[in-house]
């Protein structure tokens, strides 16, 4: 009886991580669309910038998962890092660490600083930073597993 070694295990693990990253990006994109389009809460400028990084991530990671392309980290990691940087700045504004008002949250709908703008007990800027960070960590793991 001979033992066989599964050499595809790292690739399979990388694909699983890629699907997890895609699910995070897709969930975040759908959540902000629900908040904006269904609940009618207009996002502030920083929320728009974060959307500009998250929406392409959902598409890029989805296509990469479909094609089993674990090299996508090369393109997706910079998007996640830049989106995470905007989210971190937004969170620091929200927390009052950066002494500048969040401008402009429009007159209709709550501001990012309102307690109504919390999901799972976390303010949206913090949640956005967490999701971008998780996606970036998954992409780093994909890189490690695929090399």
Half-sphere exposure of 19 (CA within 13 A, CB side): 9
**In terms of C-beta density within 10 A (0-12 exposed, 13-18 middle, 19 or more buried), how is residue 44 classed?**
buried
Q: What is the pLDDT of residues 88-142, one digit of tens each?
A: 988 888 877 877 665 545 555 456 666 566 677 788 888 899 999 999 999 999 9
Domains, the chain, ordered by start: 9-146 (1.20.1550)
**Which pair of structure tokens corresponds to residue 48?**
């728009």
Mean pLDDT of 38-47: 78
Q: What is the pLDDT of residues 63-95, one digit of tens each?
A: 999 999 999 999 999 999 999 999 998 888 887
- The model's pTM is 0.83
Contact 68, 102 (CB under 8 A): no
Which pLDDT score, from 0 to 100, does residue 5 have? 41
| Helix (H), strand (E) at residue 118 | strand 118-119
Mean pLDDT of 25-47: 84
Contact 14, 33 (CB under 8 A): no
């Amino acid at each position: 009886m001979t033992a066989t070694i599964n050499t595809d295990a790292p690739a399979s693990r990388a694909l699983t991580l890629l699907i997890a990253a895609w699910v995070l990006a897709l969930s975040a994109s759908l959540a902000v669309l629900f908040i904006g389009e269904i609940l009618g809460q207009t996002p502030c400028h920083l929320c728009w910038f974060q959307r500009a990084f998250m929406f392409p991530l959902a598409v890029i990671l989805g296509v990469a998962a479909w094609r089993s392309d674990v090299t996508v980290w090369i393109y997706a990691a910079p998007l996640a890092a830049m989106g995470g940087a905007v989210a971190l700045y937004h969170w620091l504004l929200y927390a009052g660490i950066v002494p500048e008002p969040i401008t402009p949250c429009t007159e209709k709908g709550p501001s990012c600083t309102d307690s109504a703008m919390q999901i799972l007990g976390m303010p949206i800027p913090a949640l956005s930073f967490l999701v971008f960070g998780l996606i970036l960590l998954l992409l780093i793991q994909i890189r490690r597993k695929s090399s």
